[in-house]
Structure 1
Amino acid sequence: MALVDADGHILALAVVPANVQDRDTRPALDDGKEKWPSLRLALLDGAFTAERCREWCNLHGMRHRVVDKDPHQKGFVVLERRWLVERTFGWLSHWGGLHRERAGRLDVATGRLACVASLLAANALNNPA
């Protein structure tokens, strides 16, 4: 689970076991939201339609919008702003942050992602768009 800004820069990451649904991990992003109080809009995918997701956004003073795919859609279609998080995951994968963690420990995986996120941030500072 990731909280990213409008450019796809990582603001917060949550590493959870595979048997936990994405929509149940939003409390893990509380610290990220507190560090970035200027965030006002959450764009969520269809997995976050639950009432508890709306409540989380309201608790943090954010509007939310669920970006759903068209029910009649056939084939691949780029959905509004959802590509942003996928691109961020692609960056993490490129830098080796999303490879299977052989130790099987969440703390090791979290540390690895934190290192990769730091590298991405340093790269963004060094190469401004």
Structure 2
Amino acid sequence: MTDTNGLLLAVAVSAANVGDRDAAVPLPRRLRTPHREITLVWAEGGYAGALVRRCGQKLGLALEVVKRQDIMEGFVVLPRRWVVERTFSWLMYSRCLARPLAHGRR
């Protein structure tokens, strides 16, 4: 999870065989504990359902799902989703975070 500037607030790392929706279950609580002032969270369409209800009922967080509409064609920038994508691009820009170093090279 990032703030509106793309700075990381909470992170979940899981095995590749764990789906995003399942891996996200503990993440809102990890966000809520140190950041009580946050009341609204945006998520992509894959997180709709039980996670939205759980955030509202147990944590007092409004989880708003930003969905791509069927009428959209090609690449369309969706509101709020670009912030997380930008954070990923910053991380990938630093190759040492994404790829192992070649033997003997820095």
The interval holding the TM-score normalised by the smaller chain is 0.7 to 0.9
Distance 2:64 2:96 in 1: 28
- Aligned match of 2:91: 92
- Aligned match of 2:41: 42
8 Å CA contact 2:52, 2:64 repeated in 1: no
Unpaired segments ≥5 residues, structure 1:
103-129
Amino acid at match of 2:36: P
How many positions carry a matched residue from both structures?
A: 99
- For residues 84-107 of structure 1, the C-alpha deviation after alignment (integer angstroms, 9 at most, x for no partner) is 0011111111123652579xxxxx
The 3-state SS of whatever aligns with 2:15 is coil
CA RMSD of aligned residues (A): 2.0
Identity %: 36
Which of 6, 9, 17 does residue 8 from structure 1 map onto? 6
- Aligned match of 1:118: none
- Aligned match of 2:62: 63
TM-score by length of 2: 0.81
1:25–1:56: structure 2 CA closer, same or farther, 3 Å change rule?
farther
1:40–1:23: structure 2 CA closer, same or farther, 3 Å change rule?
same
Shift of 1:83: 0.4
- Aligned match of 1:105: none
